[in-house]
Amino acid sequence: MTPMRILVIGQSGQLARALVDSGRNIGVQIETIGRPALDLGAPDQARNTLESRLTGTNRPELVINTAAFTAVDAAEGKKAAAFQLNRDAVCLLAEVCAAADCPLIHVSTDYVFSGQPGRPWQEGDQPAPVSAYGASKLAGETALAQTWSKHIILRTAWLFSEHAPNFMTKIIERARTQSIIRVVNDQIGSPTPARDLATTLLDMARQVRDGTTPWGLYHYAGDTAMSWADFAEAVIREAGLPDCRIERIASSDFPAAAERPSWSVLDSHRTTEVFGCAAADFKAGLSRAVHHYMRLT
Ligand SMILES: NC(=O)c1ccc[n+]([C@@H]2O[C@H](COP(=O)([O-])OP(=O)(O)OC[C@H]3O[C@@H](n4cnc5c(N)ncnc54)[C@H](OP(=O)(O)O)[C@@H]3O)[C@@H](O)[C@H]2O)c1
């Protein structure tokens, strides 16, 4: 069988880079497209670029969208820009994919939830975002679902990888020079290795090609719920930086422009049942990403 051709929207982002790494390992033909060739903030030009890419020779069999306005705090002051990228551009992409009959896998976020503590969030639970970022991502999910039936929306959470910058790499950098790092302890989520998410996305893509896909909404995240402070401690332990200590603080001690959910743990069971992809092994993923980053820096 010829290698599957996948177009990844987004180029320099950590998930786009993880997809390229994973695709190389399993022989999938991945092309990424990002700025300046594709600027989703310029809709007319973006539509033309996408239309020609999706209808030309060697066109992709499937599109994975990793592009987003991901700056959670900045989104509060730039709501229009966040909604433009996270809702309107997703709608545009869905329209172009529909016209080309090209399936679309879109990545969304745990921040669509409100964060009341309880059991892990399932796909049928009612979202209630508490930030502009979360609201704009939820609006993108709705726009996609209303525009193109051959879609998968995969919500994920707290991504980390050796591709800086992300929470893991920031903690390592600070722990190299500081003896104490203050980290919030009252937001609980599911840190997810970007590499495992990439593998799962490519596995889903393969199953789309096989024609066995139940389209719709899924969750995929790491298998261990923890606070940012727990996550930071796990990072410095794994990195072997014992001279640094994590001081646990409340969100109210660390004022930020955007509110974050206090509980955004995702339940990955449906993804496991339907696609056979188990929740990511946090411990193994952290070890791999930390040691890869330490070798690079
Ligand atoms: N990071 C997390 O913790 C997390 C958690 C939950 C969900 N997610 C979701 O996972 C997905 C991937 O996140 P990530 O961590 O890889 O984000 P990232 O590292 O911030 O990358 C964002 C991507 O968006 C692209 N982009 C931004 N503005 C663009 C524009 N105007 N035109 C075209 N492309 C643009 C960038 O492309 P270029 O720079 O290459 O142009 C980049 O590849 C996003 O949908 C995000 O909402 C992330």
**How far is it, in rounded angstroms, from Cα 235 to Cα 197?**
19
Which residue in this structure is represented by tokens 């670029």?
49
* Domain-located, residue 26: yes
- pLDDT tens, 149-184? 999 999 999 999 999 999 999 999 999 999 999 999
Contact 294, 175 (CB under 8 A): no
pLDDT at residue 95 in the model: 98
Query: For atom 21 of ligand 1, which residue has the closest CA?
Result: 13
pLDDT at residue 57 in the model: 83
pLDDT at residue 117 in the model: 67
* Domain-located, residue 187: no
* Domain-located, residue 231: no
Helix (H) or strand (E) holding 159: strand 159-160
pLDDT at residue 116 in the model: 76
pLDDT at residue 213 in the model: 79
Q: Tell how far the Cα of 15 is from the centroid of ligand 1, in angstroms.
A: 7
Helix (H) or strand (E) holding 104: strand 104-109
36 prior amide bond cis, ω within 30: yes
Query: For atom 8 of ligand 1, which residue has the closest CA?
Result: 109
* Domain-located, residue 70: yes
Helix (H) or strand (E) holding 192: strand 192-193
What whole-number percentage of the chain has pLDDT above 90? 92
- pLDDT tens, 2-27? 889 999 999 999 999 999 999 998 88
By annotation, the residues acting in catalysis are: 133
107 lines ligand 1 (CB under 6 A): yes
- pLDDT tens, 203-223? 999 999 988 779 999 999 999
264 lines ligand 1 (CB under 6 A): no
Biggest CA–CA distance in the chain, Å, is: 57
Core vs surface per residue 138-169: b (16+ CB within 10 A) or e:
bbbbebbbebbebbbbbbbbbbbbbbeebbbb
* Domain-located, residue 232: no
Phi/psi at 60 (5° precision): -70, 155
- Number of structural domains in the chain: 1
Residue from 70, 93, 266 whose mutation best tests the ligand 1 pocket (most atoms within 8 A of CB):
70
Residue from 14, 15, 104 whose mutation best tests the ligand 1 pocket (most atoms within 8 A of CB):
15
- pLDDT tens, 224-239? 999 999 999 999 999 9
Q: Tell how far the Cα of 237 is from the centroid of ligand 1, in angstroms.
A: 28
- pLDDT tens, 68-93? 999 999 999 999 999 999 999 999 99
Higher pLDDT, 114 or 171: 171
In this predicted structure, the answer to whether residue 97 has a pLDDT above a threshold of 90 is: yes
pLDDT at residue 5 in the model: 96
* Domain-located, residue 55: yes
> Any idea what the CATH number is for the domain that residue 59 is in?
3.40.50.720
Strand partners, 29: 5
Task: Using pLDDT thresholds of 50, 70 and 90, give the confidence band for residue 55.
Answer: very high
Segment 111-134 shows an average pLDDT of 93
* Domain-located, residue 287: no
Contact 113, 125 (CB under 8 A): yes
Query: For atom 24 of ligand 1, which residue has the closest CA?
Result: 67
85 lines ligand 1 (CB under 6 A): yes
Residue from 159, 162, 167, 220 whose mutation best tests the ligand 1 pocket (most atoms within 8 A of CB):
159
Helix (H) or strand (E) holding 129: none
- The residue segments making up the domain with residue 40 are 5-163+192-224+260-281
pLDDT at residue 294 in the model: 96
**Residue 116 buriedness (CB in 10 A; 0-12 / 13-18 / 19+):** exposed
Query: What type of residue sits at position 188?
Result: I
266 lines ligand 1 (CB under 6 A): no
In this predicted structure, the answer to whether residue 132 has a pLDDT above a threshold of 90 is: yes
**How far is it, in rounded angstroms, from Cα 140 to Cα 87?**
4
Q: How far is CA 269 from the centre of its chain?
A: 18
Q: Tell how far the Cα of 152 is from the centroid of ligand 1, in angstroms.
A: 17
* Domain-located, residue 37: yes
Q: Quote the pTM value.
A: 0.97
In this predicted structure, the answer to whether residue 1 has a pLDDT above a threshold of 80 is: no
- When computed from its CA atoms, the radius of gyration of the chain, rounded to whole angstroms, is 19
- pLDDT tens, 23-42? 998 889 999 999 999 999 99
Q: Atom of ligand 1 at shortest distance to CA of 166?
A: 1
Q: Tell how far the Cα of 20 is from the centroid of ligand 1, in angstroms.
A: 14
